Chains A and B, each alone.
Chain A
Amino acid sequence: MADQLDDYINAVARAMSLPLEDAWRPAVRANLEVSLQLARMVDEFPLPDEAESAAIYSA
């Protein structure tokens, strides 16, 4: 899993042309691990398919 996340970080950095020096990797990884943990917590919550986003737009 650890290697997969490192691979993911490398791939996204390349795909998005984001700089990523070796010295930054531990902190980026630690932050991403926290974000993914919290994101999974949100994702696990059952919502109906009809649930609407709270993002605001009016035509």
Chain B
Amino acid sequence: MSETPAPMSAAVIAQAVSSQKLTAVAATEAVLARIAAHDNTLNSFTDVTADRARARAKSIDAAIAAGQAVGPLAGVPFAVKNLFDVQGLSTRAGSKINRDLPPAPRDATLIERMEAAGAVLVGALNMGEYAYDFTGENVHDGPSRNPHDPTRMTGGSSGGSGSAVGGALVPIALGSDTNGSIRVPASFCGIFGLKPTYGRLSRARTYPFVASLDHLGPLARSVTDLALAYDAMQGPDAGDAACTTRPVEPVLPSLTGDIGGLRVAIAGGYFQNNVFPEATEAVARVAKALGATQTVELPEAARARAAAYIITTTEGASLHLGRLRKRPNDFDPAVRDRFIAGAMVPAPYVDKAQKFRRWYRARVLELFNSVDVILAPATPCTAPKLGQVNFVLDGVELPVRANIGIHTQPISFIGLPVVAVPVPLEPMPIGVQIIAAPWREDIALRVAHALEKMGVVAAPAPRGIGA
């Protein structure tokens, strides 16, 4: 595999391209070669937009040769979960049904912003059907596979994003996170993932799942690369009703700042129950490195997870009612049956869940009067085997699918910003959530960067693809 070495980090590529030590064309060709060499194993891409990428890379090299500034992501290849509109492709969102849609006339806002900063889109990535998934499995396209052990799940629903970055096919991928769909694959695939504050990044021209819970964000192999992508994508957008009008708040300038004054606590109770020893070990390592000994209790976290579940299943069902009636046999049967059940949940329960959500938000925000950062597991376990239905925890057999997201759901439910950081345990990595108060992505990223510098967290080389 020496002909397809792992690509450099986004920061290194951008620096090399900007200083004309590397061409954007060469960076792009290296990534395309690596995808060709390894994606048969990983199944992370559903579309490789090679012609578009080559043309874009050429234009970047021409602009640099002409002395023009091309942006902080000059020549950096990236890919997007296939629920992002990519001009000329039907936005399948992991489904069979959406392949019948006409090709998207325009890229999603976040793709436009990445490319405006000099990045090069190389393709669209596999995902769980309609994002209603924590496994990364897909009955239409096949499962995305874990880069550290292809017999294991990537996690989902941004499974291809986790696999492509974890496998070092691309330095950056974009994903979506409604209940954990960035943080779970980041955990299972051993990479960094940022789920920003709800409303921070525009969702314009991406396929929705649960509007009141949907977030978009980047996955990468380093915190600097996460920050580069995040800063490039910030900014208001009238195309997304929930997108904030707050000014852009760049995080790169403060990324290497001191964390000594930050108050870090460990999430107790709910977040320490129903976890495998690996998850406990990962949180303990991060807490020790940060000198965190205080424990805080997120009040009613189990009920928060329940409320997120109810809002998800009912809003998701509402979105797909027409397709359930017209094309029920074209869904993944398991997804269809969840949506049909979701349509049958009585409305008062949904209203109650949204009212509880406001109560819970107020109580959790009170915690941030006394702490700046809360640590919690990203997943209760390392990546299960593909197709695995149950696991045994403390002698109790539990369903895998329903339990993968138990620690991410109570956090995204109230839109808190989170960086999932990879703890490189053997034989499989696992993630920890670095959780901050709303709009304080800068704090979560600064802590993640400090942990990376200490060597406590890192994206391990992909051992499952022989490279």
Q: Which residues of A contact B (CB under 8 A)?
A: 8-9, 12-13, 16-20, 24, 27-29, 31-32, 34-36, 38-39, 41-43, 45, 47, 51-56
Contact = CB atoms under 8 A, between A and B. Distances in A.
B343 A54 contact: no
Nearest to B349: A39
A55 B361 CA distance: 13
B291 to A, nearest CB: 35
A53 B351 contact: yes
A53 B321 CA distance: 24
Interface of B: 212, 241-242, 300, 302-303, 306-307, 309-310, 313, 321, 324-325, 328, 333-334, 336-338, 340-346, 348-349, 351-359, 361, 402
Nearest to B324: A18
B358 A52 contact: yes
B306 A38 contact: yes
A45 B134 CA distance: 27
A12 to B, nearest CB: 5
Given A24-B333, A42-B310, A42-B352, A54 B344 contact: no
B402 A16 contact: no
B341 A32 contact: yes
B85 to A, nearest CB: 23
8 contacts: A13-B344, A18-B324, A19-B328, A31-B338, A45-B303, A45-B356, A45-B359, A54-B355
Contacts of A42: 303, 306-307, 310, 349, 352-353, 356
Contact of B349 (A12, A16, A43): A43
A54 B328 contact: no
Contacts of A16: 321, 343
A39 B310 contact: yes
Nearest to A38: B306
A36 B348 CA distance: 12
Contacts of B334: 27
Contact of A47 (B324, B325, B341, B359): B359
B343 A45 contact: no
Contact of A34 (B212, B333, B351, B402): B402
B344 A12 contact: yes
Contacts of B241: 56
Contacts of B361: 54
Contacts of A29: 341
B416 to A, nearest CB: 14
A45 B300 contact: yes
Contacts of A13: 340, 344
Most B CB contacts (10 A, CB to CB) among A19, A29, A39, A42 go to: A42
A41 B306 contact: yes
A5 to B, nearest CB: 10
Contacts of B338: 31
A18 to B, nearest CB: 6
B216 to A, nearest CB: 17
A20 B359 CA distance: 37
A25 B342 CA distance: 13
Contacts of A34: 402
B310 A56 contact: no
A25 to B, nearest CB: 9
5 shortest interchain CB distances as A-B pairs: A31-B341, A38-B306, A39-B349, A27-B337, A54-B357
Contact of A39 (B242, B302, B306): B306
Given A17-B325, A53-B355, A32 B345 contact: yes
Contacts of A27: 333-334, 337
A43 to B, nearest CB: 5
Given A16-B321, A38-B309, A41-B306, A54 B358 contact: yes
